[in-house]
Structure 1
Amino acid sequence: MNLESVVLQGRYVIIEKIGSGGMSNVFRAKDLKLGRLVAIKVLREEFCYDINFVEKFKKEAQAAAGLLGENIVNIYDVVDEGRYHFIVMELVNGITLKEYIKMKGRLDITEGVSIAIQVAKALKISHDQHIVHRDIKPQNILITNDGKIKVADFGIARAVSEQTANANAIGSVHYISPEQARGGRCDERSDIYSLGITMYEMFTGRVPFVGESTVAVALAHLEQAIIPPNVYNNKITASLERIILKCTKKDPVNRYQDISSLIDDLENALLNPDEPPYEVSGSTKVIKAKDTAVLNKVEPINDMTDEEQDNDYENKQENSDYDDDDYDEEDEKMDKIMSIVGVILAAIIVIVLVFFVGRFTGVFGGKKSDTSHSKIDSTQTVMPDVVGLSEKMADKKLSDNNLQMQVKSSEYSDTVEKGSVISQDPEADEVVSKYSKVSVVISLGSDSLDMAKMNLVGKTKEAAESLLKENGFSVDTKEENSDTFAKGTVISYSPTKPKKGDRVTLIVSAGKKITKVDVPNITNMSESDAKALLEHSGLVLGKKSEQNSQSVAAGFIMGQSVSSGSKVDSGTSIDYVVSTGLAESSEAESEQQSSQVGSSTEQSQTTQSTQGTKATVAPATTAAGYRYIASIDTNYSLEGMIGPGASMTNIKVMIRLKQTVNGSEVYSTLMEARTVTGDTILPVRFRTIVGTNGVDQGQVEIVNVDTGEVLKSYTVEFFKVE
């Protein structure tokens, strides 16, 4: 599907293809109305013929268009045009999370958790409106150039999954939930599962299940136990690992029941990475000894490749008679396991205590503890660092350290995000009394306005000035010539992010830079010579017509639309007539001219009765030694006039020539009335139109025969040909 340079809805100019998927192709485009770049997702042709699917696709996209959030790719419009069905959405400059993981191998814990929180916040907005994404995967998570996370394709996967059995259109099988794999009912917990698989890949650099086919991977989601991510990355904290494993439980009942609980646990894992994972929100389930035993069954694998690790783990699974998600031991076995675990835990605790005592006393070397902190008593605590955290997260972190947060003031900041902490008093690492107050300054965000959001480019000077003044800016204007922007419209502005009250300079188009040039004489020249001469003079060789001639050899120019010596604007097109030599049959030529002119009385009566217009038929060209001729070569799309549903509409049209002769309107038929469908592209191509002698202008009109309405009119110039 090549749509480059196509204009959709007379508004969106397709620039280039930037991606494709199982159900659509994605293009970069320019919104001419608002002067901004957008992304346009066009439904693939194989889906366009299923009316039910198209309606579902549009309905789901329109529902998703109501989702607004800083972590969501916004949908601007859902449109049809003929056989094209497309969604206009925010253009995100950046890369996908999938590409980012490939670049880095696996993500830093803090960075990955921050990304997961932003994705979860986008899902919260969606889930609050009862919209399930159904296709959460790194390919649908975008990282902008300024580091912000955006989630794309809300609601679209639902239309695909409910209307077609094409697995390729639903998304990658590596991230689907078990209920999706078995074709069951999906809800918000399905998105939580897919986000858990995505987190697994972020921190390990791999997906948990692989196979030789999509069916094999889908079955793995249903049947295979997931290898704990810490096996592949020992930097994953116990609390983060438990969050991932809870998200990816095979039974939705055992997962987080809502996205808010997941967000709370992720934020806690970010603030307190070393906190024991015994209390994960969203469930009242207490960790049992058997859960610990299951995790301890997976031995760390340090000297194997990823593939060897997979094979080793699968071999262990094949020799086992149970699944670690489902098994239950007898009471006797549980007693044995708990005894073993108790011994192991006791040994670990003793080792850890000995190690830390040794470290602090210097027995094992290393740094001694900070003397200032080692002297704190039970009524004191060390001040944590909350600068850069959101107000909510800062309050929680201080509260966890037995401190009270007090907002001292709010200030504008170009570096600290709105709602986050700019500074704190006392500062981090100071020893303070427990339950004392900590003063913080909260960011109001930048007081600079992002001018791009005002869409000034392309607006008229007056509209742009009015909008700027309404927002408290002073305005200066400068004019520059432009070949692309209409005169009086804004080309650019500076600065790009002014503060309120600043002076903004608008660069306004003065139109094209025009100079007058002399038209050279191109008669009796070949086309190539005429083209070179015109270009040297700053002009363009225009439309070509052909005509018999007794005096000019075939292939040479016998006439030009603008006489030599005239002064015209540079860049003007000069139309021309090329000789075809002597006519082979004057009789045939006479019949053709008579047909084009349409001089019969019967035609005149038909035209008058059909159009309801007082007109006479152009007189037949006499046997004078010259004629007045014109030509036209273009197309007219009826669909632009009729709009949606054009293909289901019939219309009767004709094409005629209108000239004013001695004060009267004179018509001649160029194309007889015919019935066509409303999505027809009508060719308006007449190489030789013979007009009334002495009349140098006329209009070629496309007419609705039933109503007499002139749908389109083209002005044509006639010139005398000997």
Structure 2
Amino acid sequence: MKIEKDALLQGRYQIEGLIGEGGMSYVYKAKDKKLGRIVAIKVLKEQYAEDKEFISKFQEEARSAAKLNHLNIVSTFDTVDEGNLHFIVMELVEGVTLKNFIQRKGRLSERESIGIALQLIDGIDIAHKMGVIHRDIKPQNIIISTEGVVKIADFGIAGVASQEAANTAVMGSVHYISPEQAKRGISDARSDIYSFSCVLYEMLTGKVPYAGEDSMSVVFSHLEDPIPRVRDSVKELSKAIDYIVWRGMQKKASLRYQNISDMGEDLQLALDDPEGSFLSEREEEGSRIFGRKEMDQGISNLYKGLAIASVILIAGVFLFLGYKVVGVLRSVKSISGESETAMKVTEESTQVAITISALDNLLPEIVGKTVSEAEDFLSNYDIHIYPEKEEYSDQYEEGQIISYPGGKYSTHSRLYVTLSKGPKDIRFYDPSAPSDLSELQKMSLSDLEIKLKDRKIAYTVVEEASDTVEKGYIIRTNKASTKEPGELLITVSSGQSTAPVLMPDLTNLSEEEAISVLEEEGLTLGNISYIPSNTVEKGYVISQSVPTETYVETGQAISFSVSSGSEGKSRNGQEKAWVSSINQSVSIGSGGPGVSGTVLVVVYLKQDINGETRYTTLQSARTYALGSEMQLSLNRIAGASGVSKGTIEVVDAENDRILASYDLDFHPEG
């Protein structure tokens, strides 16, 4: 069900626009007016909204997903059923999908791929432990936020969509589907591991593991074709990562990793040991390979038994000799000191101790830093820091790290920290200088309300007209901070005052004089038209949009026409003026909360006449607020006779910078 912009759902969620569409839903960006945050709203399409069985599954899975609370899972905030309207309110993550990220880069490096995979595994593992299976893991459902946090979306909800797709014989996400899902329509945590391994394959190689002319040929490949190896596509990839992806993509679920956390442990080992010396332990656990399957099958049990017996015999000989050597060394200990072997152990232990000690000494210094500052500070150790909680703090500014869990940390560790939300008491102005409200007046009411509601502070808002404070921003408060007793009273600007003004006479004034008079009277400048005249001197006002001696509201826009002289009028009643017109909104710079200033703007007409460029001033210099819009509306622009083309240039006069330009066609008048 499509929803129009600005629609209000549940009296709370105001739609800002459509941001995406999937097979089963529309996704909108919306503002949660109650909590003052931006959210994503996923609304079921009409064909699903009338299917009671589907709705029941959808609600059940959405409730399961809502229980998941993890940094690497897109949060589900609310589920709503209102007649035939069914929607889920979710966290809006600003960023790029993993699919787009791979397409932009071609393929990801091994280290980058593992880093993304480890973040995702943290989230998937939590979900699996809570009994929630995704069933549709694919790069399109994975988002890399602008802060570098990787999040997986549609947990549980994707399962309803995939079941519905199977029921309607439509195969979706076939490039990542597990054999058991494709063959029997069943899935468990190991099915997610298969799909996840396909995603890891794509990150490392830049392509999906199985491709085909149609969906069914891809599905058949998942069921029957040999498992592709990442090193066949990218030679420089390590043996360890090759094994990990291969094992995760086993056709039989019983041969894969049984828990995704086990896969995460191997990926962590692969960072430190790319050659995969740890893989020998995996063979003992029953994972039959590293390298080619045929290599393992070529070694008979007899040869393996002989090899083991030989190793045991050789080891026994060396142990016997070692025993004798140690006896001799002990006998001369007082003469020769500690053995070389003991020295080596001591040196290695010291080196490890120094490394741990150095990091332990550095970690306390991240307190008081932001996450990005802390990661830069610990860049030599490749420590990744993730905000886990937020608390109020009088000691640390908003966004600074307050604390982190104790324990031993090493290179590549993940560190979950507590961030400051700033002081619980909000300070509005310095009580020793109550007349200085400049900083307070840069704060919008909407931003302040979020902080007050979060702190559960009661307040009352009254509006007051202001010629100096922008509409929606704070003019003053009745106390210096929320720490002071009594209810908080906030006075917010409703914009400029609207006291009536007697319209002055602008005719026969110069253009500059007319603009000055409007400013003095508290009126704003509307459009200026330039009209040829044989009776009024060039540059002087001919007429005005509001009659003289009429009362108008303060701030009302007043337009007037100015004589452009006799140029452009017909000569001898034969030649006609060449004219054009324009009506455009021009953005004046980039303003915003806390950003102020003005821009001096001039409007020119540029034409090429007989090989020379001529500039004609259409609007003399006037001041506009930074971040405002200028309405460029000229009904009759007189150009050079016989010249059919021209360009309007809106210029920042102080910096000689073109803010906007528009090409115009000129035609004979009449």
Q: TM-score, normalised by structure 2?
A: 0.53
Partner of 2:271: helix, strand, or coil?
helix
Q: C-alpha offsets along residues 333-354 of structure 1, whole Å, 9 cap, x if unaligned?
A: 6559989xx9xxxxxxxxxxxx
Cα separation, partners in 2 of 1:170 and 1:153, compared to 1, 3 Å: farther
Check whether the contact 1:418–1:446 (CA below 8 A) recurs between aligned residues. no
The corresponding residue for 2:17 is: 16
Call closer, same or farther: CA 1:571–1:188 in 2, change over 3 Å.
farther
Shift, 1:52, TM fit: 1.7
- Cα distance, 1:467–1:81 mapped onto 2, change above 3 Å: closer
For 1:89, the aligned partner's letter is M
What is the 5 A alignment of 1:238-317?
A: 238-279=239-280, 284-285=285-286, 287=288, 292-294=291-293
2:369 aligned to which of 414, 429, 435: 414
Cα 1:63/1:463, change in 2 over 3 Å: closer
Of 351, 374, 381 in structure 1, the residue corresponding to residue 348 of structure 2 is 381
Rounded to whole Å, the distance in 2 between the matches of 1:380 and 1:140 is: 49
Instruction: Mark the CA change 1:251 to 1:267 in structure 2 (over 3 Å): closer, same or farther.
Output: same
Q: In 2, Cα distance between the equivalents of 1:292 and 1:463?
A: 57
Alignment of 1:489-500 (within 5 A): none
Amino acid at match of 2:51: D
The equivalences for 1:338-349 within 5 A come to none
User: Which amino acid in the other structure matches residue 348 of structure 2?
Assistant: T
CA offsets 1:393-423 (integer angstroms, 9 cap, x no match): x9xxx7xxxx999678634153668998966
Greater Cα offset, 256-265 or 404-413: 404-413
CA distance in structure 2 between the aligned counterparts of 1:191 and 1:115, rounded to whole angstroms? 16
Q: Give secondary structure in 2 for the equivalent of 1:182.
A: helix
Deviations 1:110-133 (A, max 9, x none): 111010011111101101110001
Q: Which runs of 5+ in 1 are unaligned?
A: 298-328, 343-375, 388-393, 428-437, 471-478, 491-505, 521-535, 540-563, 573-722
- Contact (CA 8 Å) 1:418, 1:445: kept in 2 or not? no
Q: 1:515 aligns with which of 498, 514, 518?
A: 498
- Shift, 1:514, TM fit: 2.4
CA apart distance, 1:167: 6.4
3-state DSSP class of the match of 1:42? strand
2:33 matched residue in structure 1: 32
Structure 1 residue 287: Cα displacement:
3.8
Deviation of 1:482 (Å): 4.5
Q: Cα RMSD (Å) of the superposition?
A: 4.9
- Other structure's SS at 2:20 match: strand
- 1:14 counterpart SS class: strand
Who is 2:77 aligned against?
Answer: 76
Residue 67 of structure 1: aligned partner: 68
Indicate conservation of the 8 Å contact 1:196/1:247, yes or no.
Answer: yes
| Cα distance in 1 for residues equivalent to 2:227 and 2:219 | 13
The reply to whether residue 160 of structure 1 matches residue 161 of structure 2 is yes
Give the secondary structure class of the aligned counterpart of 1:16.
strand
SS in 1 for 2:348: strand
| Mapped partners of 1:66, 1:418: distance in 2 | 32
Q: Decide whether the 8 Å contact of 2:179 with 2:222 is kept in 1.
A: yes
Shift of 1:251: 0.5
Counterparts in 2 of 1:416 and 1:515: CA distance versus 1, 3 Å: closer
Contact 1:425 1:439 in 2 (8 A): no
TM superposition shift of 1:85: 1.3
Counterpart CA distance in 2 for 1:258 and 1:414 is: 36
CA distance in 2, matches of 1:446, 1:41: 31
Pair 85,338 (structure 1): closer, same or farther in 2 beyond 3 Å? farther
Aligned equivalents of 2:173, 2:20: Cα separation in 1: 16
Distance in 1, matches of 2:65 and 2:86, equals 16
Residue identity (%)? 35
Report the secondary structure of 2:184's partner residue.
coil
Q: Please give the TM-score of this superposition, normalised by the length of structure 1.
A: 0.49
How much has 1:512 moved relative to structure 2? 2.5
What does residue 192 of structure 2 align with?
Answer: 191
Q: State the structure with more CA Rg.
A: 1
Matching residue's letter, 2:500: V
CA distance in 2, matches of 1:218, 1:260: 27
Deviation string for 1:227-253 (max 9, x for gaps)? Answer: 211011112211111111111001110
Question: In the aligned structure 2, how far is the partner of 1:221 from the partner of 1:425?
Answer: 42
Q: What SS is found at the alignment partner of 1:101?
A: helix
Q: Could you tell me which amino acid in structure 2 is paired with residue 39 of structure 1?
A: A
Secondary structure of 2:364's counterpart equals strand
**CA spacing shift, 1:489–1:209, aligned 2, 3 Å:** farther
| Contact map agreement 2:35 2:450 (CA 8 A) in 1 | no
Change (3 A) 1:209 1:463: closer
Superposed CA deviations along residues 505-556 of structure 1, whole A, max 9, x for unmatched, are x997312222223699xxxxxxxxxxxxxxx9899xxxxxxxxxxxxxxxxx
- Residue 449 of structure 1 pairs with residue 421 of structure 2: yes
Whether the aligned pair in 2 keeps the contact of 1:18 and 1:26 (CA below 8 Å) is yes
SS in 1 for 2:166: coil
Give 1:67 shift: 0.6
State how far apart, in whole Å, the 2-side matches of 1:93 and 1:444 are: 21
Provide structure 2 residue ranges, at least 5 long, that are not aligned to the other structure: 308-342, 383-407, 427-442, 458-465, 478-488, 504-521, 526-548, 558-670
Q: Quote how far apart the aligned CAs of 1:380 are.
A: 2.8
The aligned counterpart of 1:312 is: none
Cα separation, partners in 2 of 1:177 and 1:272, compared to 1, 3 Å:
same
The 1-side partners of 2:302 and 2:291 are apart by: 10
Equivalenced residues, count = 416
Output the amino acid matched with 1:114.
Answer: G
